[in-house]
Amino acid sequence: MVTVAALVSCGQDRSAAAGATVVATTTHAADLARNVAGDRAEVIGILPPNADPHDYEPRPSDAEAIARADLMLKSGGELDLWADELVESAGGDRPVDALLDRVSTSGTRHDRLDKGSAAGDEVDPHWWQSPHNAAAAVKAIRDRLIELDPEGRASYEGNAEAYLTRLERLDRGIRSCVSRVPAEQRKLVTTHDALGYYADRYGIEVIGAAVPALSTQAQPSAGQTAELVDQIEREGVRAIFPESGLNPRLEEAIADETDAKVGGELWADTLGPADSSGATYIDAMAANTQTLVDGFTGGAVSCRPRA
Ligand SMILES: [Zn+2]
């Protein structure tokens, strides 16, 4: 009797949405999940806009949300390792999916990791920078939601199908914009090594990063910064792209020592608030492409993918 009563009470405590309740760590994971969930399932995002996922301090309310959820969606890899502690403090019995495990991390050019980066053979966790990977993540989320809430199958399939069509259009649009930049001008320098999947997919050469690591939490040595300044000069890099949510002073200092300018801000590891150019995943990828194409060409090419 006690057990039954507890179960009934637990069921009544669930959210108003008919389907599953999902907690997602990053702004990207939450946005992809919301597009599949529609109004059938509830998605609670942990990270606020413009927060750095490499450097997040979980709150007690995060563990409470996980304890009530049907599924915890991690981005995966080094990026949100703090999520494991959260799941532990939430009782440790919630199912956890890491989206990094559901996308393709093979076949990417990791030559940049051989240039003295501290990353070694660590898997690059920034999978969402390729819309192709975002599509794989959406399919994984769709299948998981159907498992958790079989009666919602038609909703989740329809939502995912519509969003996958938009991702395909985004992918074609980005490719079309980047193709307008002469190949020898597609030379990328960012805050940290976050756009490897984007560079691999669209034929862009990663020259280096102000913080030459897959995490924002690394500190560049004076020697690494001097080497990057040399590379920027040697390669004729035109722009160093800072990231939204991070202080651009290192990029400004490097630009001062070279002919490169500080380019527009990129949406790297976080989406932005509702009134920003990076409010959604698709908006952010379109805005990044416009910013990159402008910076690569010194403003000679202006192109924004339809999204
Ligand atoms: Zn990162």
Distance of CA 84 to the CA centre of its chain: 18
Half-sphere exposure of 39 (CA within 13 A, CB side): 0
Cα 53 to ligand 1 centre (Å): 7
- Long-range CB contacts for residues 275-281, cutoff 8 Å, separation at least 24: 276/49, 276/244, 278/244, 280/31, 281/28, 281/31, 281/32, 281/128, 281/134
Distance (Å) from CA 155 to ligand 1 centroid: 33
Q: How many residues does the chain have?
A: 307
pLDDT value for 6:
37
Neighbour-count burial of 181, counting CB atoms closer than 10 A to its CB (0-12 exposed, 13-18 middle, 19+ buried):
buried
Question: Domains (ranges, CATH) in the chain?
Answer: 2-169 (3.40.50.1980), 181-296 (3.40.50.1980)
* Ligand 1 centroid to residue 55 C-alpha, Å: 10
Q: Kindly give the distance from the C-alpha atom of residue 205 to the centroid of ligand 1, in angstroms, as a whole number.
A: 18
Task: Return the beta strands (E) in 12-152 as ranges.
Answer: 21-24, 42-45, 71-74, 96-98
> How confident is the model at residue 108, as a pLDDT?
57
Task: Note the pLDDT of residue 116.
Answer: 44
How many other C-beta atoms are found inside a 10 Å radius of the C-beta of residue 259?
A: 10
The predicted pLDDT at position 290 comes to 98
Per-residue pLDDT of the chain (307 residues; tens, 9 = 90+): 333 333 333 444 444 567 899 999 999 999 999 999 999 999 999 999 999 999 999 999 999 999 999 999 999 999 999 999 999 999 888 899 999 999 988 655 544 454 444 445 689 999 999 999 999 999 999 999 999 999 999 999 999 999 999 999 999 999 999 999 999 999 999 999 999 999 999 999 999 999 999 999 999 999 999 999 999 999 999 999 999 988 999 999 999 999 999 999 999 999 999 999 999 999 999 999 999 999 999 999 999 998 7
pTM: 0.91
- Find the 115 Cα to ligand 1 centroid distance in Å: 18
Q: What is the DSSP letter of 243?
A: B
Q: State the distance from the centre of ligand 1 to the C-alpha of 10, rounded, in angstroms.
A: 37
Q: Which residues contact 79 (CB under 8 A, 6 or more apart)?
A: 26, 53, 54, 100, 125, 126, 215, 269
DSSP letter assigned to residue 190: E
Distance 41 CA to ligand 1 centre (A): 28
Question: What is the distance in A from the centroid of ligand 1 to the CA of 16?
Answer: 34
Centre of ligand 1 to C-alpha 65, Å, is 25
Calculate how far, in angstroms, residue 71's C-alpha sits from the geometric centre of ligand 1: 24
